[in-house]
Amino acid sequence: MTKNRIFLSPPHMSGKEKEYIDEAFRSNWVAPLGPNVDAFEREISEYVGASDAVAVSSGTAAIHLALSLLEIGPGDKVFCSSLTFIASANPILYLGAEPIFIDSEPETWNMSPIALENALLERAINDDLPKAVIVVNLYGQSAKMNEILSICNRFDVPIIEDAAESLGSLYKGKCSGTFGKFGIFSFNGNKIITTSGGGMLVSDDTEALKKARFLATQARDPALHYQHSTIGFNYRMSNILAGIGRAQLEVLDNRVDRRREIYLRYFEELASIPGINFMPEMEGTISNRWLTALTIDKNEAGISSLDVITALAEENIEARPVWKPLHLQPVFNGYMFYSHKKEESIAEQIYNSGICLPSGSSMTESDIMRVVNRVKGVANVTV
Ligand SMILES: *Cc1c(COP(=O)(O)O)cnc(C)c1O
């Protein structure tokens, strides 16, 4: 008998989504605008404490818009965390600009302020500063925002905070996604809450977000005859999907609590295995623990992260390596990378030993124990 598949992070509906969808159908707001879109934007901006928000078709679209608002184009440089999903950096290439990748540091796994400062100092000497820095909050953990903000402010470079994975997380009491000039969230099917696909751009610059709405609806000039003076996009969120998002946002805090509980269960069961180290949660931050991530030191544990992933796959359980750093991706071959320490990349070390365990908020205790027991089994720990 094959056991039910345990996915890494499947969608988790609350049950109320259908009411919002039905209302959209009843009122015939079946379009990329409507009352759910307006309300979802207001509710997200209120939740995170930003002045305004623009609902779009994906997190990637939100990054593309943020870069466009900063007028990034061919020849411009943009810094980006290396240890992240490719969507963080792809929009840099959409605009013909050049990505430069920044290493992680061990405390948050996110952008190293040391590597960032070195990179900015070097570019400043060459009079070739980046026009933006994309800072990612990996697996829900905030980057060292105070340090990163103060360095970027010194060089007058704006930050785009890629909070696709960190909705509901806090950094020193303030919501993740609200630290940069722009913040972005994703509601892809695997994220902590979902609209099936979607994203949000947030900012305190309401004028910029007005322009984002304009750009996201094909940059239509105010004329009856469809006139266009700039190139826009078709990036707005559907009113039906925004309805799903509204119902999901109502349970976001529960989802965060549950993901943190799941992390804690894994920690209780597995942290004592030699060589296993869980992704830290930096003091002063609360991570939504979107995915429980850990590293396995093969010398100490006697097994590698890949051994564990393979063993879990045999049990119909989906686990994944940590994101492959972007500076190692074939598609970004030839772009620069600044490391945290000389000749030593923290992002590569984390990638080589890292694993993400199933972390969906709908997991049951018995699902968790299925994962735990299999990991203990390969690690030769008596259950
Ligand atoms: C998911 C994700 C994105 C992209 O979001 P989409 O909505 O899938 O386009 C961007 N950055 C990070 C770090 C992500 O995890």
Q: Report pLDDT digits (tens) over 217-235.
A: 999 999 999 999 999 999 9
Distance, in Å, from the CA atom of 292 to the CA atom of 278, rounded to the nearest integer, reads 8
Decide whether any atom of ligand 1 lies within 6 Å of the 60 Cβ.
Answer: yes
d(CA 234, CA 214): 10
pLDDT at 381: 81
Ligand 1 atom, smallest distance to 191 CA: 1
CA of 87 from ligand 1 middle (Å) equals: 5
For ligand 1, whether the C-beta of 87 sits within 6 Å is: yes
Question: What local confidence, expressed as pLDDT, does residue 316 receive?
Answer: 97
Q: Look up the domain containing 197 and give its range.
A: 17-251
**Amino acid 90: pLDDT:** 98
Q: Considering 219, 251, 283, which residue would you say is the last residue of a domain? A: 251
Please indicate, yes or no, if residue 298 is contained in any of the structural domains: yes
**Is the domain of 122 the same as that of 189?**
yes
Identify the bridge partners of residue 294 per DSSP, sorted by sequence position. Answer: 278, 355
Tokens of 155: 């060089």
| Under 8 Å between Cβ of 100 and 122 | no
For residue 6, tell me if it sits in a domain: no
Domain stop point among 229, 251, 273: 251
Same domain, 183 and 331: no
Residue 2: per-residue pLDDT:
64
Which CATH number characterizes residue 360's domain? 3.90.1150.10
Task: Enter the tokens of residue 287.
Answer: 């991570």
**212 in a structural domain:** yes
Using CA atoms, how far apart are residues 291 and 27, in angstroms rounded to an integer? Answer: 38
Both 223 and 288 in one domain: the answer is no
User: Quick check: CB of 84 below 6 Å from ligand 1?
Assistant: yes
CATH number for the domain spanning 218: value is: 3.40.640.10
Contact criterion met (CB below 8 Å) for 317 and 5: yes
Residues (pLDDT < 70) of the chain are 1-2, 382-383
Cβ proximity of 205 and 213 under 8 Å: no
Are residues 100 and 195 located together in one domain of the fold?
yes
